[in-house]
Structure 1
Amino acid sequence: MFVSRSRFALRVAALSSAIVLTACGGSDDVASTNQPIAAVPAPPADPGFVDSAPVPSVPAFVDNIATNQRGDARYATLSTNAAVRVVSRFLDLWQPSTMLVDAGVSAPANGGFPAVVASACSGLPASGTPCGTIVNSSVLAANVQYVVDATTARTQQQADAAYFDDRRGKGYSVTDGMGPLTAAWRTAAQQTTSITSVPPDATTVLYNDSGNNVGVGGSANASFGKVVDLLNEMGNNASTEPTKRFYKYARPYRWSTSVVVAPSLVPAESTTPATDGGFISGHEGEAMRDAMTMAWLVPERFQEMVSRGLELGENRIFAGMHSPLDVIGGRMLALAVSAANLATYASDAQTAYGQAHQTLQQLTGTSDATFATFAHSGTATTDRFADYTANKAAFLRRMTFGFAAIESTDAPPVVPKGAEVLLQTRFPYLSADQRRVVLKTTEMPSGYPVMDDAEGWGRLNLFAAADGYGAFNGNVTVSMDASKGGFNAADLWRNDIAGAGKLTLQGTGMLTLAGKNSYTGGTQVSGGTLAAASPTAFGTGDVYVGSGGSVKVAASAPVTIAARYTQLDNTTLELDIDGNGGGRLRVGGALSIAGGTLHVKFVNGYAPKAGDTIALIDGAAGSAKFSAVTVDGFKATPVYTGTGVGV
């Protein structure tokens, strides 16, 4: 590269015919021959179908949420109560003494449904009238032993966190998942709590949070009231009590005296065990619902918020108040309730979304362009969810709490009716059907206790889903509109994408792929910018950059295109070169450059010297040339060889 300090674009005459040569690797010597070929390769073949996630042919919770009631004979059975059905695989492990919502509750006959008589079970496994029969002793023994192990090894920090998450309003507690936005959120919502310290010992009189939980709604809060109103609406028909009263499964400290309830929470132990069932966790049900709603309202913190929802569930285990299966059941019902109520209150949700962003941006001095960056500006000391890798690992662990699969792990994925709404604001540029496929291709394997419900709520992995598709099956066409801002303008998919399908990017936004991708159907860029942030971002198929499209190579190691790379005129290839291999492109198949712009940036402090020759593309180039070559900050001469392109 022959350098003088100025920005310079060297224009090279566009070829009258396209050039394709076979890649072989080699030196940076200037090519001495130009051998044109007959034609530009065609784009990767269309697979001929689009993947889908059909709705299961079972009664859908989103259509029957209103049946989640207690004290009503019409909704007292497994077949008539939608919430009881969501977690009905618990029956593989435990058979309640009566198959009715009847623990401590009765109901008169109603509409042809017989009266419900309150159960006589005591709620105490070791004495009194049994509340049920153990069906799978190994799983239920492991369920209680997990709590024994967790509470006997509990740190003081974990005990304190368990106390706060027990006593505080759940909406207030999970708001700290907002990280750098927490203070602004609590100010906007006018949230308060009276729980500011942990009692010194177990003799302290029990007290409850006299704060306002999710905050002040309605006209009393002109700038954020719609947000608070939505959080309150999301609690409609959301009670965990009908499910508790049906399954009648005791809390862990009633199963084993080896469970050590957090001393500060001993006063909170109920004196009426018959109506104080452990399965499912009410705290987790409410917390995960609030966290899911906040993730929907501020998808810039989506993964952090759903992580906070599961963290609160684990704190219930550290408290000694709930078992892993209790928490898993609470999480499942929370997702079902969230989807149902987001659909029911769709108009209110959209209004709240707009209000949340407008007000939070005002309070943080940000704009649409800078809000997402600010939302992730915390450090490990100011935002305990700042570490993406740690969050991902913790979320996956909390999905199953270490239980091994007890059934086949390869059952087909199933996505509940209406679940796609949970990703609506996270992927505003995808259709509802596409969001269903995202859920389908990222969900958990089958076989885990309780989680294999007929609708599919138990296997949904919202953290993974927020990282985009897990597999391309068929033709996946993504169209982004940068003028709409937010994720429409730029998004990052971090999953390891498999499958035999093809990705086509259209529009004006930028989509970055950062996983260890192995999809084989090829990649076509017809508009917008497709960025590679990992060496295998583009899978193993052809990459075809059509007119109006751009590709950006910004990985920290060379990006490999195993098959052909084709670039037409009116396109751009940006290479972000760091001097250590990052930003380079390695093409294993035919390299066809029929014009377009090569844009080179030097990043991460790398500054080449005058006279350096910088290798950029490994692959037989021959007389294939870009129409323009731009190197930021330098005057540069392109170097085309039989084995690559450099400057």
Structure 2
Amino acid sequence: MNQQPTLNRRRFLWNSAATSVAVLTAPTALSLLAAPQQAAAAPAGGPAQALAFVDSYTTNTPADLTPEGNAAVRILGGMSRIWHTGGAWNTGSPLMADILRANVRYCVRVTTQRTAAQAREAFVYDRQHQSYAVIAGLGPLADLYRTGARAVTSITTAPDSTPPAKVDDAVPAGAPAGSALGPGAVDSELGQVVTLVNTLRGPYASGNPSKYAYQYPRPWRLNADSAVVDTGATDAFGLPVYASDVVVAPQLLRQRNTSPVDDGGFVSGHTNAFHLAALALAYAVPERFQELIARAFELSHTRITAGMHSPLDVIGGRTLATALAAATLADPRNAALKAAARGQAAAYFRSKTGSTADTLHAYAHRAGAAEDPYADRAANAEQVTPKLTYVLRRAGRDVPMTVPKGAEVLLETRLPYLDAAQRREVLRTTALPSGYVLLDGPEMWGRLNLFAAADGYGAFERDVTVELNAADGGFSAADAWRNDIAGPGGLTKRGTGTLTLTGTNRYAGTTVVADGVLVAGSRDALGRGAVQVRGGTLRVDAERGAVRVRGDYLQSAGTRLELTLHQHRGPALAVEGRVTLGRDAQLVLRLSDACELGDDVVLPVIDGRTLQGGFGSVTVDADGYRATPLYTHSGLSVRLTRC
């Protein structure tokens, strides 16, 4: 159920004969692609430049379908390089025929290989309110949300064949008083969160203006060469028959729009709605940020499985939703609402689960894959990654990413310890590369990869200083960056909180622990530069081989190194350069659960080119063992003796 206003074709159809509405042509779109990312003063006598989307998103209405007058149509301008809009719904023509052929053939392959269960699933998410469908991304918090928001649906199963009439979601009989469709009731315990979802899906959030602007048909009206072929016949339901190999799910045959002029494919309205609802909930419940993004991608893919939309439609819907969510959240008029929604969600879930700001994340991830389909981050990434580009091929020159104005607000609650400039850098360094024509539209909204951005920086292009403080709770107290971080810069960790690095990192600069705790959770977590522990604690815990320091290792007096020993023969910390240990530096050894020791064993701990100094204390965090350090000119072993 699209739940967006139906437009009047006579008023809004782009037509080459019309004089009141400009026709989008390839040159117009190409000129827009060269437009700057943010508003700027026009030169004397020159044309005014387009306002940034976040400053003009309220122009996304049926009143203007031109890229000059409608911000949504403008930022989707990459489509005008692929498809030339005709004077009627069936007179458009390909500009990149290979992409359009691949687009429809993908739909043919998916819909002809679809299982009966997938067809039923596609029906459910076609007919169910999109905001309700997204709630499942909350995992262990989903049922609590539905109860607190009084969110309900009547669409939970699908028939095996075609229903006799249209099916719409409704409050089911017997639902608790005050229940509501979609995200729930605005007067519920989670009313502010509900209002935030509804606001992001507000009056300027429709994909319909773009549908009318681009007039790209739905896949079941296209043949494999992306041409409309109307056979002139009608099917058993009185609908026109098109010569298409795309097979619509049988449950949805009567749910189709019978008016092709009012039923464009680009962009997918359901996809737009799924991502808007997911981003609203992710802002209010950032403990499930990445899982909600994965849920939106999975739901959006059912539009292709259903035969109702193509990959280009889905990519366009996601791109539009990303921009709309950022614009709405960045709008000063919504500042109080978004803060209230975040605060209400945090208080509600902590109260219902008995958790705190520091333990709610763990509760939200306590279930395994059998109960929570999004419990496995690697599986989520495997599901999301190919859907970022689908059938698009990469070509052309490499264009540096410019993060759209205001996009940083999307990470405001997920990375609260970073400032706006740092969040923009996270978005920039995790963005998709250039060269995907539909993603390279004005402002580059399509290149943002929010799933990856939730895992922190993708590169340190310059030295990065990050401060996490335990007293602030939540992600500000402890967070993990899971991306593989590249770049010439280094990292300085400040504050009393804990930051964990788990990627295969290649950044070249120095890693400095100034305060708090930095955890090296993978073999190459510390990059390729020197490591300096000048305050706080460096915690090393890599299950697969020694954590490597490619440069020198310096540990100042009074600081702490914690090493977890696993069942491998090499040292826990392998240093390619010099090891310098300050007076009163501490070493604490921990034993992994799989590490079985005898009564008296010598374990290699640190290996370097040379070693200078020594630890003031060496202890083992295991009952019944005493640690004795054994130094050489290049490293340290420890004798563990059972007391």
Higher RCO (CA 8 Å, separation ≥ 6 residues): 1
Deviation readout 1:283-337 (Å, 9 max, x if unpaired): 0001101011111111111111111111111100000000000000000010011
Unmatched segments (≥5 aa) in structure 2: 1-35, 41-49, 172-179, 224-243, 639-643
TM-score between the two structures when normalised by the length of structure 1: 0.84
Task: Pick from 597, 600, 603 the counterpart of residue 614 of structure 1.
Answer: 603
Aligned counterpart, 1:525: 513
**Residue 189 of structure 1, aligned match among 132, 142, 149:** 149
1:160 to partner: Cα distance: 2.0
1:537-575 Cα offsets, whole Å, 9 max, x none, are 1111000111x3210001112101011000001211000
CA gap of 1:586–1:171, structure 2 versus 1, over 3 A, is same
C-alpha distance in 2, partners of 1:303/1:395? 10
Residue 182 of structure 2, aligned match among 214, 218, 241: 214
Which of 509, 528, 534 is 2:522 aligned to? 534
**C-alpha distance in 1, partners of 2:504/2:140?**
30
Mapped partners of 1:447, 1:297: distance in 2: 34
Distance 1:185 1:393 in 2: 27
Q: Which residue is 1:10 aligned to? A: none
Find the partner of 1:66 among 55, 58, 62.
58
SS at match of 2:134: helix
Please give the per-residue CA displacement for 1:325-364, whole angstroms capped at 9, x wherever unaligned.
0000000010011001111212211111011111122222
In the other structure, the counterpart of 2:435 is: 447
- Looking at structure 2, the residues matched to 581 and 360 of structure 1 have their Cα atoms a distance apart, in angstroms, of 45
Query: Which residue is 2:176 aligned to?
Result: none
1:242 aligns with 2:209: yes
**After superposition, where does 1:123-522 map in structure 2 within 5 Å?**
123=89, 125=90, 130=91, 132-211=92-171, 212-218=180-186, 220-221=187-188, 223-236=189-202, 237-256=204-223, 257-344=244-331, 345-408=334-397, 410-522=398-510
Q: Secondary structure at the match of 1:325?
A: helix
Verify the 8 A CA contact 1:189 1:214 in the aligned structure 2: no
The one-letter code matched in structure 2 to 1:407 is G
Amino acid at match of 1:335: T
How far 1:620 moved relative to its partner? 5.0
Q: CA-to-partner distance for each residue in 1:445-500, whole Å, 9 max, x for gaps?
A: 11113110121101001111111111101110001111111111111111111111
Residues 217 and 265 of structure 2 are in contact (CA less than 8 Å); yes or no, is this contact kept in structure 1? Answer: yes
Alignment-derived partner of residue 553 in structure 2: 565
1:644 is matched with 635
1:617–1:646 CA contact under 8 A, matched in 2: yes
Q: Which residue of 2 aligns with 1:105?
A: none
**How far 1:64 moved relative to its partner?**
0.2
User: Is the CA contact (8 Å cut-off) linking 1:558 and 1:581 kept in structure 2?
Assistant: no
CA distance in 2, matches of 1:435, 1:540: 24
Query: How far apart are the structure 2 equivalents of 1:85 and 1:66?
Result: 13
CA contact (8 A) 1:620 1:641 kept: no
Q: For residues 369 and 501 of structure 1, what CA distance do their matches in structure 2 show?
A: 30
566, 574, 577: which one pairs with 2:562? 574
Letter in 1 for 2:81: D
**CA RMSD in angstroms, aligned pairs only:** 1.7
Which residues in structure 2 correspond to 1:582-601 (within 5 Å)?
584-595=572-583, 596-601=585-590
List runs of 5+ in structure 1 lacking aligned partners: 1-52, 99-120
Is the contact between residue 65 and residue 73 of structure 2 (CA under 8 Å) also seen in structure 1? Answer: no
Equivalent-residue separation in structure 2 for 1:592 and 1:304 (angstroms): 43
Shift of 1:621: 5.7
Question: Helix, strand or coil: the match of 1:474?
Answer: coil
Aligned partner of 1:555 in structure 2 is: 542
Shift of 1:581: 5.2
8 Å contact 2:565–2:589 — kept in the other structure? yes
Which residue is 1:103 aligned to? none
Q: CA deviation at 1:577?
A: 0.9
Paired residue secondary structure (1:635): strand
How many pairs were matched up?
559
Deviates more, 1:249-258 or 1:632-641: 632-641
Summarize deviations over 1:342-397 as a string: whole Å, max 9, x none: 11212211111011111122222322232111111222211111121111121111
Contact 1:250 1:276 in 2 (8 A): yes
Measured in 2, the distance between the counterparts of 1:325 and 1:373 equals 37
Same amino acid, percent of matched pairs: 43
Report the CA distance shift for 1:582/1:532 in structure 2 as closer, same or farther (over 3 A): farther
- One-letter amino acid matched to 2:399: A
